[in-house]
Structure 1
């Protein structure tokens, strides 16, 4: 059975939460909140990875002494090492990401405040000029 091509005339792109063209609404206001929230999530993931690395190590405690000479012990040690490396890399990435996202949120908030103050200052000058006429 042949597949049908979608109608070209019926297709269009609609951005998430976009209102009608020219709509005056607050759906596209930006804030620092998503950045700081994402930073918190990255911190939580980092803590989760920290716990996972610790739990993985504890799960293998004493394995060498009870399984010496077995090929499976060598394989398990190799697997442990690779998983510790992977989880540690994820933990480090989450730590870096958390800091970067937090900084972005702070910078965004400071920039937003600075821009607002600049506009308020300009508005004040315009108001003063208008009163003088």
Structure 2
């Protein structure tokens, strides 16, 4: 990162202050606060960051419900507007019928788009839940040896 140009008076003050202190490092897998972090060799892990598939599966369930409800609403809207042409009611040729048909078509398209988007989203959300669960397991397995290292033999190997 390059240095920013400051007026001379500010630059003198910045030079006097020295570089900013480095932020404390803290592993998400440790349960201690940064100010009391043990050395890496004494850390027992544990952590406070946990993954659960429940929010992802809940979101997938909501997408499924919204898809179903949207499709039901779209079907109901179409049914409610059957006969809108006015032939049976004597309203043929009225401008309001043409406007109503335009609005109906617009809502049909919107509801179909929501239905399709929710249908596409549900399996993706379920896949995230599965993938993250697998990743959590793989990471846990890969670092297990570091948490409890194998003791060296008599010759230090």
- State the TM-score, normalizing by the size of structure 1: 0.70
Q: Does 1:43 align with 2:67?
A: no
Distance 2:147 2:50 in 1: 23
How many equivalent pairs are there? 110
Q: Deviations over 1:54-87 (max 9, x none)?
A: 0110010122132322111111111000000111
Flag as ranges the 4+ runs of structure 1 deviating above 6 A: 23-26
Where structure 2 has 5 or more consecutive residues not aligned to the other structure, the ranges are 1-31, 35-44
**Larger relative contact order (CA 8 Å, sep ≥ 6):** 1
Secondary structure of 1:63's aligned partner: coil
The structure richer in helix per residue is 1
Partner residue, 1:83: 107
Where structure 1 has 5 or more consecutive residues not aligned to the other structure, the ranges are 1-20
Q: Which has the larger radius of gyration?
A: 2
Partner residue, 2:118: 94
- State the TM-score, normalizing by the size of structure 2: 0.60
